Chains A and B, each alone.
Chain A
Amino acid sequence: MAGGALEGGSALAPPRLQRLLLLPALATILLLLVVPLGFVLVYSFLTPGTYGGVVREFSTDAYLQFLFERDLFDESLTFNPAYLQIYARSFLLAAVATASCLLVGVPTAYFIATRPPSRRQAWLLLVTVPYWVNLLIRTVSMLFLIRDEGPINAGLRGLGLIETPLRIAYTDFAVGLGLFYSYLPFMVLPVYAAIERFDFRLVDAAYDLYADRWTILRKVVLPVVRPGIVAGCLLVFIPGIGAFIAPDLLGGGKNLMVGNLIALQFQSSRNWPFGSAAAIILLTIVLLALLAFVRQQGKAHGGGR
């Protein structure tokens, strides 16, 4: 199959030319990702300037600051878990958002993928509708909905179900909800693609070979569509960890996530090295987690038993 695709492509463009096709993307990545990331890495080992920016003086303070607090007088270091907690919260919120997206996104994707082909496009278009509106505006309108004086609380009070407003806005719950809502289509689309390609004759085959419905789902459907589910989870989880708008607006800037922490360092705190270090640490953790995940997937894939 891969061979066929290669041959088909070479009819249109010879292999040497095909490599050129990748050039614009490579240039973009180099210029806009690798180079800036290099700067971030370098900045994280420099000393903060008084009014932002950096002074060219090597220092590991940014990384020390992540775990320890330096006493102003005697320069002694004491352990400070505050930043670690922000990372932990970010992971937790992103994980909860991913799980919620799975819960809602997989049935949705299944529904769309099992419609007649002529209808699927319309359903997919509906899934992307939220993206026609700017994320900031969507998040703000969500805030209006859930704040103490918002329609949800007003409605509940009107029904006499509560007396004091339900605290939704400016909680971790609100942030999780925001993340879930922002990234849901990223779950639906790859899962849809996987289910759409799924050969439902396999279900017949398994049913014929004495499997019950639950076993068919577990042993046949899920393993085959797993790449789509994994892709969806990564597409929600990774941007979810670094999310900035949802925690800023819905968390009220109190319950920081990594994204806010980093943003703060480049804005009011004017500690560019620490912001850079926080970004590098996040990147490292995500990459390590991905690596572990890929390894584990590779192992788990051996077992169709």
Chain B
Amino acid sequence: MRRSRRESAITVEGVRKRFGSGAQAVEALGGVSLEIADNAFFTLLGPSGCGKTTLLRLIAGFEQADAGRILLFGEDIGRLPPNRRPVNTVFQHYALFPHMTVAENVAFGLRRLGRPRAEVEDTVRRMLALVKLERLADRRPAQLSGGQQQRVALARALAPHPKLLLLDEPLSALDLKLRQEMRVELKQLQEETGITFLFVTHDQEEALTMSDEIAVMSEGRVQQVGSPREIYDRPKNRFVAEFIGQGNFLPVTLERMEGGEALCRTDFGAVIRVAAGEGIAAGGRATLAIRPERLRLVEPGDARAVFSGTVERLVYIGSDTDYRVRLDDGPPVDVRVQNAGGEATRYAGGERVGIAFDPAAARLLPEEE
């Protein structure tokens, strides 16, 4: 991994945060620990309400943690107010100052830091060039489109050259096309500026395409941290597997362990051999997870077929075709077939098919209590 020897920009240790008290108390963060490498594009991914904004607000200094520590390049910043932390935020709804021009917005942080006038002007010009807004320097935020406001917010937060940039779902208010463009731009910005980005999103595609590393959160806890590949290919638990991409989940009983592999039997009687992960022991129950695009459709009698079933329906979605196949005596599974050759729509509804897959592509997830 390329981050292994790099210094940690921010370290979050066992941070807890609870809002309210008594019966109405909400535990927003239940002991979160994270380490974010310097110069990384790090993403917090999780469903709405899982505590992402709360964690950002704790790092920015708007909230105080009930327990735990937050270190910025080794220094405990937990007690500093937001204006004393070299951390800037791109807010979810931008929060641009409506009475100031674009240039004045971008200059705001630099002025508060008492930078000399010439330097402020120079930096503002560079920042506006960076986000391609030079020509709108004298506009007010109300005269800008959503995408332009977004760029102003970025330039404003980047201008003081913080040690860490926090971005709270900055793309969620943009339309799809713009959002996709901005993904690329954000990633480029991070690389050009060399500033560590802590990016928050509930959109898994966004997380997968932009990040060096992803932390998947749920209900105030970190479920898994890893590269996009690790998160996608080797989800640690059912939540991660389900939240990222699509998946088929088959309950299995673990028959036998053979080296690093487990022989497991599905509830409908099929026996499969797959690599075993942590928390997997013979005799127990587990969930077999496999992505639709890792399944292949073959002729019913094919020797490679692991399962057999009947096509329930198929949906043509351009680059791929999504099949739903009901397994014999079992649940339905989703199969995604690329429309590269002619085989994508070879099978029609009601036809019998076999399903094959590489055991290495399947994951055994420990049963959750």
Total B residues in contact with A, Cβ cutoff 8 Å: 29
The one of B60, B98, B101 that contacts A208, using a Cβ cutoff of 8 Å = B60
A202 proximity list for chain B (CB < 8 A)? 95, 97-98
Q: Could you tell me the distance between the alpha carbons of A288 and B96 in the complex, rounded to whole angstroms?
A: 35
Q: Is the CB of A209 within 8 A of B108?
A: yes
| Closest A residue to B89 using CB positions | A208
Is there a chain B Cβ closer than 8 Å to A220's Cβ?
Answer: yes
Question: CB distance A205 to B91 under 8 Å?
Answer: yes
Q: Does A199 contact B (CB under 8 A)?
A: yes
Query: Measured between alpha carbons, how far is A224 from B109 in the docked complex, in Å?
Result: 18
Residue contact A208 to B83, C-beta cutoff 8 Å: yes
Within 8 A of B (CB), among A199-213: 199, 201-202, 204-212
CB contact between B112 and one of A199, A201, A215, A223 (< 8 Å): that residue? A215
* Residue among A204, A212, A220 with most chain B CB within 10 A: A204
Q: Do B100 and A207 have beta carbons less than 8 Å apart?
A: no
Question: What chain A residues lie within 8 Å of B157 (beta carbons)?
Answer: 208-209
Please, how many angstroms separate the alpha-carbon atoms of A224 and B83 in the complex? 21
B331, chain A: closest CB distance, angstroms: 46
Interface: B82 (CB within 8 A): yes
Closest CB-CB distance, B106 to chain A, in whole Å? 10
**Minimum CB–CB distance for A302 against chain B, Å:** 9
Q: Does A16 contact B (CB under 8 A)?
A: no
State the CA gap A304–B156 with chains docked (Å). 15
- Contact of B91 with A304 in the complex, beta carbons under 8 Å: no
Most buried by B among A202, A207, A304: A304
Output the residue of A205, A211, A215, A219 with the most chain B CB within 10 A.
Answer: A205
Minimum distance in angstroms from B344 CB to a CB of chain A: 45
In the bound complex, how far is the Cα of B62 from the Cα of A201, in angstroms?
11
The contact of B101 among A210, A223, A224, A304, by CB within 8 Å, is A304
Report yes or no: A220 in contact with B97, Cβ–Cβ below 8 A. yes
Per-residue contact bits, chain A 115-137, to B (CB 8 Å; 1 contact, 0 not): 00000000000000000000000
Contacts of B108 in A (CB 8 A): 206, 209, 211, 219
Task: Confirm or deny: A305 has a beta carbon within 8 angstroms of a beta carbon on chain B.
Answer: yes
A-B interface, 5 closest residue pairs, ranked by CB to CB distance from nearest: A304-B100, A209-B109, A210-B112, A205-B95, A201-B95
* Chain B residues engaging chain A, CB cutoff 8 angstroms: 60-62, 81-84, 87-89, 91, 93, 95-101, 104, 107-109, 111-113, 156-157, 160
Q: List 9 A-B contacts (CB under 8 A).
A: A204-B95, A205-B95, A207-B62, A208-B60, A210-B112, A211-B108, A211-B112, A301-B99, A304-B97
Binding site for B on A (CB under 8 A): 199, 201-202, 204-212, 215, 219-220, 223-224, 301, 304-305
